[in-house]
Every structure is written in structure tokens, then in C-alpha cells.
């Protein structure tokens, strides 16, 4: 990641979503989960996508049980 450029891909997030998210009291893990969900939905021009808790846990490097707990909180 020496020189990331928009031309190499990006994830567009609506300003309305960003405006609401910044007001939420999210934990760091919850925010990382949201970023991953955005990446695999908006980042691939999808409105929805099935992401398993195992996939999320592996992608962000935490235990699957923590993913389940944080998603429940979200």
C-alpha cells in the first residue's frame, strides 16, 4: 500500500450514510465490521451480500465469537 490511488478501485459510500455513522457510538470492532460490509457490498456495486461470521472474523483478524457478539450489538 505504498501509493493507493482511486483509479485502482474505491468504495463509494453515500454522504447520508457517513453522516449518520459518525454519530453512532461504535466500538473499533463494530466499525471494522461495517467497513468490511461496505467493502463487499458497495465496493462491488452490490446492494447486499451474504458474509459469514467466519469470513468476517478471518478478514479482520478476530475470533468468530467476537464477530457474532458485535453483530448482535449492531
Q: pLDDT tens, position by position, for the chain (74 residues)?
A: 678 888 888 888 999 999 999 999 999 999 999 999 999 999 999 989 999 999 999 999 999 999 999 999 99
Question: Rounded to an integer, what distance in angstroms lies between the CA atom of residue 3 and that of residue 47?
Answer: 29
What is the pLDDT, as a whole number, of residue 10? 86
What is the pLDDT, as a whole number, of residue 33? 97
What is the pLDDT, as a whole number, of residue 1? 65
Sign of the dihedral defined by the CA atoms of residues 19, 22, 18, 47, in that order: negative
Is the pTM higher than 0.95? no
Amino acid at each position: 500500500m505504498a501509493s493507493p490511488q482511486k483509479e485502482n478501485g474505491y468504495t463509494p459510500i453515500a454522504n447520508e450514510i457517513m453522516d449518520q455513522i459518525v454519530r453512532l457510538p461504535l466500538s473499533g470492532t463494530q466499525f471494522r465490521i461495517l467497513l468490511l460490509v461496505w467493502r463487499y457490498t458497495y465496493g462491488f456495486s452490490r446492494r447486499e451480500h451474504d458474509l459469514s461470521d467466519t469470513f468476517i472474523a478471518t478478514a479482520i483478524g478476530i475470533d468468530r465469537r467476537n464477530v457474532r457478539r458485535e453483530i448482535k450489538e449492531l
